[in-house]
Structure 1
Amino acid sequence: MLLKILIGLSLAVLCESQLIVQTQYGPIRGAQLRSGLDKVYYSFQRIPFMQPPVGRLRFRDAEIPNNWTEPLDCTQQGPRFPQVDFTFEPTNASFSGDLDSMHINVYTNNLNPQQKYPVMVFIHGGGFRTGSGLTDIYGPDYFVERNVILVTFNYRLYAFGFLSLDDPELNIPGNAGFKDQVLALKWIKDNIENFGGDSNNITIFGQSSGGGCSHYHILSPLSKDLFQRSIIMSGSAFNPMYGAIPRRNWAYRLAKQLNDSISENEKEILEFLEQAEPEAIFNGVNAIMTPYERNVERLLNAFGPVIEPYDNGNAFMLSHPEILAENSWGNDVDIMIGGTSFENAQLVNLFLQLPFMVEANSNFTSFVPYQLDHLSISERQHFGDRLKEMYYGMMNPSPTNFDPTIILTNDFAFWHIIDRVVMQRINSRGTGQTFVYRFDINDANNCFRARQRVDSRWHGHLRAIHMDDLCYLFKPSFVDTSLLAEHSLDLIDHMTSLFTTFGSTGRPVMGSWNSSISLETTLFGYNIRENLTLATFNELPEMSRMKVWREMYRSNSYFLSINVILLLISVIFSILN
């Protein structure tokens, strides 16, 4: 009887220093660790949530793993997905990783809380090419200070995660990387209560392309009801870099790059790529985009989010993200969205070392998002001229005058997209609230700014660059917490409180921070400064520059309306005739 009571109290037991938790596929063994802030917590890493994508599964939709009976050793983290990782060796990176890396990691300070813990699920970034859920960047040390469960995971990247073929008989419609994420979210919902978590209080959050993922999931019907709220950091499904990739012969180009004699037959292409070395595939993708696609269309990848050509019963995205957003279930989900104040400040180093790159980026027409493909050449030129006027006035870009280009790329890739998302949600009239933040902290713990060594000759190096907000949520392996100043620790406390309070309740920690309201020329949000007394809810500085960007999309709406009217007229005439 006593044994039954003990078992009923928890599915997690501590026996001879071996921590065992039961999951739906089998038992796992975790570890008790101590964080960099001297907090005891429990770690379960390398938990399989899908079958390894090898052989015939290399490009296909994820399948659940086989069951096991003996406790699986989950005390050490697994490998990353195959990639060239520039995080630690930016000038001397090498290819590494393993296809058998589809793992989940779970961290908590209490496996048996009196009240179930809210769950924070982080989706890593890396442009859909690199990255992982490992602790080299995403150490759980700060989150385990809070009464939440942190979950990270890997998913397939690049061609492995986003290869798309037209032939339905091959069953490779695309977006396998997203479907990996969906299967991970299903695993979390089905298993997290065994770790003391609340399966009905799950928040997803991600940064950069991971922020894009956090947005895609509130648009896709495949992700419905797998989480309760979303935090979108420096990325979006509307982003011109992380948005839907145009459907082109990418698979053939890749196979042709590796085997010049390959035909355009998709079955032959698939059979070849299923056997090709992962490193050859990774390196081959880098060579298949044209200069026009890179420099004019500004495509980030040949393989990324794609509108699937048919529904195989497991479709993630069958329409463009902006069309999905109109009637998405996610319009009723609370979100928090934002970015850093100088996202692209690392371009300073490029412009100082290679001055000719300033003029190479002076084609302002190329900053008109390629998704606005209805615009004529003259209309694109008009908006390019408007952008030049907005950011440079009467001046021209030069090696001694490139600050406006940095600001323009910030707005192009991040801030005008944040504005687009908020405007869409307000116009959707959904019940979900939308909170906007701007991370403008200047502190010694801006660890990615320090790692990028942004040249001090530019004034912008004093503010936050892309990924710097992560330094206040996660402990990277290259940060020694014992050396952090008290002020840095206070900022970490503030950021983790902000994120976990929103994750727990759907409302930010700041009482004065309201759901965003949008006016014709501006947007309001929470501006986070290193002096926390100056962190206020007010008009965000980027938003005064949104006028031209909004005009581009109004032109798009006008064009679509005209086409709808013309279509209706043609239908009426066909009926009358």
Structure 2
Amino acid sequence: MLKFLIIFNFLLIVNCQIINTQYGPILGAQRTSALNRNYFSFQRIPYMKPPIGTLRFRDPVPPSNWTEVLNCTAQGFRFPQIDLTLTPQGGVFEGDLDSMHINVYTNNLNPQSKYPVMVWIHGGGFRTGSGLTDIYGPDYFMERDIVLVTFNYRLYTFGFLSLDDPELGIPGNAGFKDQVLALKWVKENIENFGGDSKNITIFGQSSGGGCAHYHILSPLSKDLFQRSIIMSGSAFNPMYAAIPRRNWAYRLAKMLNYTGTENEREILAFLEEADPQHIFDAVGNILTPHERNVERLINAFGPVIEPYDNGNAFMLQHPEELAQNSWGNDIDIMIGATSFENGMVLPVLLLGGSEVLEAFTNFSTFIPYPLNRSNEEREKLAEMLKRTYFGFVEPSPTNFDGSILLSSEFAFWHVIDRVVKQRVFSRGLGKTYVYRFDADSDNNCFRTLYRVDPRWHRHHRAIHMDDLCYLFKTSFANVPANNTNSFNLIQHMLSIFTTFSSTGNPGITNWKPSTNAQETLFGHNIRETRALDSIEILPEHKRIFVWEEIYRSSALSFNVNFIYIILLFSLAISSFFV
């Protein structure tokens, strides 16, 4: 009795709350958001056993039950990684393997009607990132009647090591399977937090957007959520696409001074004991110059087509094959990107001058290596890319924006076009809404963080991640003052995302889902004020044809020259190119 009174009095003093989960009771805290809204916060909730020892690379295992109240009033650690953001901690290794945690935030634990649930999947190129509040503070979302969930998952080698030997039980994609286990936890526990287990939306940005797409393709994720929001990423994106199967594990072990043979059992035993920091230090150096510069591989460890089915397979086919008959074709999605995605590399281009520009204007490298084009075809297509993005002007340090648009549309907008076309042709029941974030305000905090030169803002306003500043409270940006353009845009973005998550419709008049394969990039162009917003065929649409030609499966010879002539004529009489 005395113990109960002590706990009860403690809860009264610190405004805490106990919630039961399937694994045991947890203690959360009541907090006040940056907008002075009270909400409940439950952080560092275990959803799987720590991936330690023989669990380091294997499929996730649910946590053990507990009986004592678990203190979940403070956030935990991030998963081991090298922080790549341009903050004072940039480039520093940090994290803990015991970080497989979920965080739940809501302004009401007992609403009259269960709240829609939004599950955030963080980005970071499968190498970095977390569900922590330094970037993904819940403050803005707490203005709306939803339950917000964030979480960590395994990264890089730990999340995506894949071995051929079925006896070892490491087919790959453990990081995706962590996410599946987290989604199962949400479905089974979220009603205890006032959430609706039958109204769950997943959303993510960059590689997190890739994850939000992968999950609507994988049969392992079926029925764990009802909608998906895919932001600046996709399973079709060359940066987040399935990685070819090679002796990556052996190469990594060799970098760590392994002296044995290519015996997978021995390599696994070695890597299970390796220091996590040493793994992160070494893994970025195992790509060959050909793999990096010609094949344009970014990671050696990432999404992979699993070599066998262990009964828990996430991906046994290429994503584009999975998409053809995916269960996700029948659910609603919202997909989009920013207007100047790769603008974050502008400082690098400006400092690097002609040498860096040469790397960005080697147009043949933008023709994906797996397409197996002949040298003659590659030359013709490279010339098309050059004329499309630079017109009759030669690339130089004074017109970097052509390079930025080219790389942005290669990696993001053409991929969005392909996703929409795939869903149109699938004839599934799901609706597809396309947005473009083109706002220019003081709250474009990543543009500020990456020191993008203001002289490039005139035509291209938002870079990669800038849209996140209007959904999450970041640690490096102040809350905009009431009734400013920035503040009003936060409210507008929250309305779009939460309305779609609740109903499957963004709630904007005349914003219709894409149903026409010829107008895949029809959608909502989001600007800094509602007066400047538009519903239209988005500007990137007029350059998509060159990427369609590159990806065309049939021989190119019959129409490349014709299209090239039309392109030159168009360039001569229009001003659409940069």
Task: State the 1:86 CA deviation.
Answer: 2.6
Task: State the 1:520 CA deviation.
Answer: 3.4
1:58 paired residue among 36, 56, 59: 56
Residues 236 and 419 in structure 2, CA contact (< 8 A), matched pair in contact too: yes
What residue number does 1:241 align with? 239
SS in 2 for 1:389: helix
1:129 paired residue among 124, 127, 130: 127
CA distance in 2, matches of 1:107, 1:397: 49
Distance 1:429 1:453, change over 3 A: same
Residues 86 and 450 in structure 2, CA contact (< 8 A), matched pair in contact too: no
Unaligned 5+ runs, structure 2: 1-9, 558-578
What residue number does 2:330 align with? 332
Task: State the 1:462 CA deviation.
Answer: 5.8
Q: Deviations over 1:87-117 (max 9, x none)?
A: 3536853100000000000000000000000
Q: Deviations over 1:273-321 (max 9, x none)?
A: 0000000001111110112211221112111000000000000000000
What residue number does 2:108 align with? 110
CA distance in 2, matches of 1:538, 1:299: 34
CA distance in 2, matches of 1:401, 1:146: 43
What residue number does 1:550 align with? 548
Q: How do 1:167-178 residues align onto structure 2 when only pairs under 5 Å count? A: 167-178=165-176
What residue number does 1:466 align with? 464
What residue number does 1:212 align with? 210
SS in 2 for 1:217: helix
1:274 and 2:272 are equivalent in the alignment:
yes
SS in 2 for 1:384: helix
CA distance in 1, matches of 2:383, 2:279: 40
CA distance in 1, matches of 2:398, 2:556: 40
What residue number does 1:538 align with? 536
Task: State the 1:347 CA deviation.
Answer: 1.7
Task: State the 1:233 CA deviation.
Answer: 0.0
1:181 partner letter: Q
CA distance in 1, matches of 2:145, 2:400: 45
Distance 1:521 1:225, change over 3 A: closer
What residue number does 1:450 align with? 448
CA distance in 2, matches of 1:32, 1:459: 40
Residues 365 and 381 in structure 1, CA contact (< 8 A), matched pair in contact too: yes
What residue number does 1:230 align with? 228
Distance 1:431 1:112, change over 3 A: same
CA distance in 1, matches of 2:84, 2:412: 22
1:21 paired residue among 19, 22, 25: 19
SS in 2 for 1:533: coil
Task: State the 1:402 CA deviation.
Answer: 2.1
Residues 517 and 524 in structure 1, CA contact (< 8 A), matched pair in contact too: no
SS in 2 for 1:555: coil
CA distance in 1, matches of 2:554, 2:451: 40
Task: State the 1:482 CA deviation.
Answer: 6.2
Q: Deviations over 1:225-283 (max 9, x none)?
A: 00000000000000001010111111111001111523211111100000000000011
Task: State the 1:483 CA deviation.
Answer: 5.2
What residue number does 2:475 align with? 477
Q: Percent same amino acid at aligned positions?
A: 67
1:85 and 2:58 are equivalent in the alignment:
no
Distance 1:14 1:192, change over 3 A: farther
Q: How do 1:169-568 residues align onto structure 2 when only pairs under 5 Å count? A: 169-355=167-353, 356-373=355-372, 375-459=373-457, 463-481=461-479, 486-520=484-518, 523-555=521-553
Q: How do 1:65-80 residues align onto structure 2 when only pairs under 5 Å count? A: 65-80=63-78
1:132 partner letter: S
Distance 1:20 1:442, change over 3 A: same
1:94 paired residue among 82, 86, 92: 92
2:192 partner letter: N
Residues 164 and 308 in structure 1, CA contact (< 8 A), matched pair in contact too: yes
Distance 1:255 1:106, change over 3 A: same
1:342 partner letter: F
CA distance in 2, matches of 1:461, 1:327: 40
Query: What's the TM-score, normalizing by structure 2?
Result: 0.92
1:39 paired residue among 37, 44, 53: 37
Q: Deviations over 1:130-161 (max 9, x none)?
A: 00000000000010100000000000000000
Q: How many residues get paired?
A: 546
Task: State the 1:525 CA deviation.
Answer: 0.9
Q: Deviations over 1:8-58 (max 9, x none)?
A: xxxxx9666331000000000000000000000000000000000000000
2:417 partner letter: D
CA distance in 1, matches of 2:457, 2:186: 44
Task: State the 1:340 CA deviation.
Answer: 0.3
Residues 345 and 461 in structure 1, CA contact (< 8 A), matched pair in contact too: no
Distance 1:299 1:165, change over 3 A: same
Distance 1:460 1:240, change over 3 A: farther
Q: Deviations over 1:172-203 (max 9, x none)?
A: 10000000000000000000000000000000
Distance 1:482 1:446, change over 3 A: closer
Distance 1:181 1:460, change over 3 A: farther
Task: State the 1:401 CA deviation.
Answer: 2.6
CA distance in 2, matches of 1:158, 1:28: 30
CA distance in 1, matches of 2:83, 2:248: 23
CA distance in 1, matches of 2:556, 2:384: 19
CA distance in 2, matches of 1:301, 1:455: 29
2:302 partner letter: G
SS in 1 for 2:197: strand
Distance 1:483 1:536, change over 3 A: closer
Task: State the 1:456 CA deviation.
Answer: 2.5
CA distance in 2, matches of 1:164, 1:377: 33
Query: What's the TM-score, normalizing by structure 1?
Result: 0.92
Distance 1:226 1:484, change over 3 A: same
CA distance in 1, matches of 2:143, 2:283: 41
CA distance in 1, matches of 2:519, 2:505: 26
CA distance in 2, matches of 1:496, 1:420: 27
What residue number does 2:563 align with? none
Residues 83 and 90 in structure 2, CA contact (< 8 A), matched pair in contact too: no
1:421 partner letter: V
Residues 480 and 487 in structure 2, CA contact (< 8 A), matched pair in contact too: no
CA distance in 1, matches of 2:86, 2:94: 13
